[in-house]
Amino acid sequence: MGVSRALLLLLCLGTCLGALAAEPTPLPGKVRAASEEWADYTQADGQGMGWDILRAVFEPAGVRLEIRSVPYTRSTGLVQRGEVDVQVGAYRDETEGVLYPQWHYDIDHIYALGLASKPAPTLATLGNYRLIWMRGYEYNNYLPNIRRFNEIHRAVGILPMLAHDRADFYIDALMEIQDVLSKADNPRQYRLTPLINLPLYLGFANTANGRALLELFDKRMEILVKSGELKPIFERWKQPYPFDEHGKPPKP
pLDDT digits 0-9 by tens, 61-84: 999 999 999 999 999 999 999 999
- Cβ atoms of 151 and 157 closer than 8 Å: no
- Please give the pLDDT value at position 24: 63
Taken as a whole, the chain contains a residue count of 252
Percent of the chain with pLDDT over 90: 79
Q: Which residues of 142-156 are buried (b: 16+ CB within 10 A; e: fewer)?
A: bbeeeeebeeeeeee
pLDDT at residue 7 tops 70: no
pLDDT tens-place string over residues 122-167: 999 999 999 999 998 899 999 999 999 999 988 889 999 999 999 9
- Please give the pLDDT value at position 14: 52
- Please give the pLDDT value at position 20: 42
The average pLDDT across 200-204 equals 97
- Please give the pLDDT value at position 248: 52
- Please give the pLDDT value at position 156: 86
Q: Which of 162, 157, 151 is nearest to 118 (CA)?
A: 162
Of 4-8, 107-111, 236-240, the least confident: 4-8
Percent of the chain with pLDDT over 70: 87
Handedness of CA 179, 32, 92, 225 (dihedral sign): negative
How crowded is residue 77: how many other Cβ atoms within 10 Å of its Cβ? 15
pLDDT at residue 32 tops 90: yes
pLDDT tens-place string over residues 104-133: 999 999 999 999 999 999 999 999 999 999
**Beta strands in 5-102, from DSSP E residues, in sequence order:** 30-35, 64-69, 86-90, 98-99
If DSSP codes are grouped into helix, strand and coil, which group holds residue 191? strand
* pLDDT confidence band for 1 (50 / 70 / 90): very low
Q: Which residues pair with 135 in a beta bridge?
A: none
pLDDT at residue 250 tops 70: no
If DSSP codes are grouped into helix, strand and coil, which group holds residue 114? strand
Rounded mean pLDDT of the chain?
A: 89
- Please give the pLDDT value at position 175: 87
pLDDT at residue 234 tops 80: yes
Domains of the chain: 30-107+198-236 (3.40.190.10), 108-197 (3.40.190.10)
pLDDT at residue 190 tops 60: yes
Of 2-6, 204-208, 211-215, the least confident: 2-6
CB neighbour class for 131 (10 Å; exposed up to 12, middle 13-18, buried from 19): buried
